[in-house]
Amino acid sequence: MRAPPLRFGLVAAWVGASNAWACAVCGAGQQPDDNVFLVMSVVISLVPLAMMGAIGYWVFRSARRAQLTPPAKSQGDNAPERV
């Protein structure tokens, strides 16, 4: 008989709960350093801004490339262009 996914998830959460009490910034029971909090605050603030800037640059570059590229002719269009 298969165990329901909910039961498996609850057991996994209970077994892994001791790791949830760890602090990624403070270290293993050491005195917290104010510089670490400042640096992480700057990183957390700048990463989303950098991502939005990268997406904006990609959209700008794609639009400019589409504007500079001439439209492709279809295969069946053999008629001469009008000048």
pLDDT, tens only, 3-30: 577 777 777 777 766 655 555 555 555 5
User: What's the rounded Cα separation, in Å, for the pair 47 and 54?
Assistant: 10
User: What's the rounded Cα separation, in Å, for the pair 25 and 33?
Assistant: 9
Whether 1 maps to a domain, the answer reads no
Whether 56 maps to a domain, the answer reads yes
Whether 9 maps to a domain, the answer reads no
Taking only the tens place, the pLDDT of each residue in 27-82 is 555 556 667 778 888 899 999 999 999 999 999 999 999 888 877 666 656 666 66
Instruction: Count the alpha carbons within 13 Å of 3 in the hemisphere toward its beta carbon.
Output: 8
Domain that holds residue 38: 30-68
Full-model pTM: 0.46
CB burial of residue 58 (10 Å; 0-12, 13-18, 19+)? exposed
Whether 11 maps to a domain, the answer reads no
Whether 41 maps to a domain, the answer reads yes
Whether 57 maps to a domain, the answer reads yes
Q: Could you give the number of structural domains in the chain?
A: 1
